[in-house]
C-alpha cells in the first residue's frame, strides 16, 4: 500500500497505543516461547508496526532475540522508536518498507507478525504470500485482523450500529477488507499454504471498564471530529454532518453508561512454515 488510509491523526494513534503484545498478540506468545527455547536469538519481523507498542512488547518477550519493525510511515516509526527507548528496549530496530514487496530475502525471519495490516490491503492473499516467503522453515507467521461486522455493542443503539457501518464502508471504499478477520484461513490457502499448516482462532478486545470506555469512546469521537473517516464518509454520501453529530452524542452517552460494553472480534491465524 502506498499510504495508510485511516491516517495517523492523534485519535488513531492514541487508540493504537492501547494495544500491547498481551492484549493483541496473545495467539503468538506461546509460539514465541517454543521457538525461543531452541533458538534464543530468533529474528522477528513486525510488518505494519504503526505506533510500535505491540512490537516493543514482542521484543521484551524475546530478550535474546531481535525485532525489526517496519511501517510505511517514517513519522510513525520515529514515534515507535521513542516508545521503545522510553521502555529501555534495545533489541528492536525500525525500517520503512511497504507491502506487497518487502526488501528481505526468502526465509530471513523466524517469526513474521502482522496485526491489522491485511484489513487495509486490496490483495490480502498476495500479502500473506509475501509474509510467508520471508519466514524461515520451522518458523511461524502470525496474523490478526479485525472483522468489522463483529462489533458487539451494549446498548446496541442505532447511532452506534451506523457508526460501525460507516467504518466498514469507508474501509472498503479505501480498498480495504471489512471481513478480513473471518477470511484469514481463506487468504492463507489462496497464498499457497496447506490447510494443515494453519491454526485458526479468534481473539477479542473488550471495552467496558470506565477507563477503557473513556479511552476507546474518546478515540472514536476524535475520529468522528477530525479524521479521514468523517470526510470520506460525507464525500461518499454514507453519512451526513447531522448523522456524525448523532454518532458523537451516542458515544458520549456510551462512555457515561456503566452498563456499556463493546466486544470486538479479531481473526487470528498461525501459519507454521
Q: Which residues bind a second copy (CB under 8 A)?
A: 147, 149-150, 152-154, 156, 179, 181-186, 189, 195, 198-204, 206, 208-210, 258-261, 263, 265, 267
**Residue 91 or residue 186: which is nearer to a second copy going by CB?**
186
Minimum separation from the CB atom of position 133 to a second copy (A): 21
Minimum separation from the CB atom of position 198 to a second copy (A): 8
**Residue 102 or residue 220: which is nearer to a second copy going by CB?**
220
CB–CB of 135/273 below 8 Å?
A: yes
Minimum separation from the CB atom of position 130 to a second copy (A): 20
**Residue 99 or residue 198: which is nearer to a second copy going by CB?**
198
**Residue 104 or residue 151: which is nearer to a second copy going by CB?**
151
d(CA 22, CA 15): 16
**Residue 33 or residue 194: which is nearer to a second copy going by CB?**
194
Minimum separation from the CB atom of position 268 to a second copy (A): 8
CB–CB of 184/248 below 8 Å?
A: no
Partners of 46 in beta bridges: 69, 113
The C-alpha cell at 75 is: 513519522
Dihedral, CA atoms, 13, 18, 22, 27, nearest 10 degrees? Answer: -50
Minimum separation from the CB atom of position 129 to a second copy (A): 16
Amino acid at each position: 500500500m502506498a499510504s495508510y488510509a485511516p491516517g495517523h491523526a492523534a485519535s488513531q494513534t492514541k487508540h493504537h497505543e492501547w494495544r500491547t503484545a498481551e492484549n493483541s498478540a496473545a495467539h503468538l506468545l506461546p509460539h514465541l516461547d517454543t521457538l525461543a527455547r531452541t533458538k534464543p536469538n530468533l529474528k522477528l519481523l513486525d510488518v505494519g508496526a504503526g505506533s510500535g507498542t505491540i512490537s516493543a512488547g514482542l521484543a521484551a518477550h524475546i530478550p535474546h532475540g531481535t525485532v525489526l519493525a517496519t511501517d510505511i510511515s517514517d513519522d510513525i516509526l520515529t514515534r515507535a522508536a521513542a516508545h521503545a527507548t522510553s521502555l529501555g528496549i534495545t533489541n528492536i530496530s525500525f525500517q520503512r518498507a511497504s507491502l506487497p514487496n518487502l526488501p528481505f530475502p526468502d526465509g530471513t525471519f523466524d517469526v513474521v507478525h502482522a496485526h491489522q495490516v491485511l484489513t487495509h490491503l486490496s490483495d490480502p492473499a498476495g500479502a500473506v504470500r509475501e509474509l510467508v516467503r520471508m519466514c524461515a522453515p520451522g518458523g511461524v507467521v502470525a496474523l490478526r485482523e479485525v472483522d468489522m461486522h463483529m462489533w458487539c455493542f451494549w446498548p446496541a443503539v442505532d447511532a452506534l450500529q451506523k457508526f460501525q457501518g460507516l467504518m466498514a464502508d469507508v474501509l472498503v471504499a479505501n480498498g480495504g477488507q471489512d471481513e478480513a478477520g473471518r477470511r484469514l484461513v481463506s487468504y492463507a490457502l489462496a497464498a499457497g499454504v496447506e490447510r494443515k499448516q494453519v491454526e485458526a482462532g479468534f481473539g477479542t478486545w473488550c471495552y467496558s471498564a470506565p477507563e477503557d470506555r473513556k479511552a476507546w469512546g474518546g478515540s472514536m469521537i476524535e475520529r468522528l471530529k477530525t479524521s479521514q473517516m468523517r470526510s470520506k464518509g460525507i464525500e461518499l454520501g454514507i453519512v451526513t454532518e447531522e448523522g456524525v453529530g448523532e454518532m458523537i452524542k451516542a458515544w458520549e452517552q456510551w462512555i457515561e453508561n456503566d452498563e456499556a460494553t463493546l466486544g470486538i472480534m479479531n481473526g487470528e491465524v498461525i501459519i507454521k512454515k
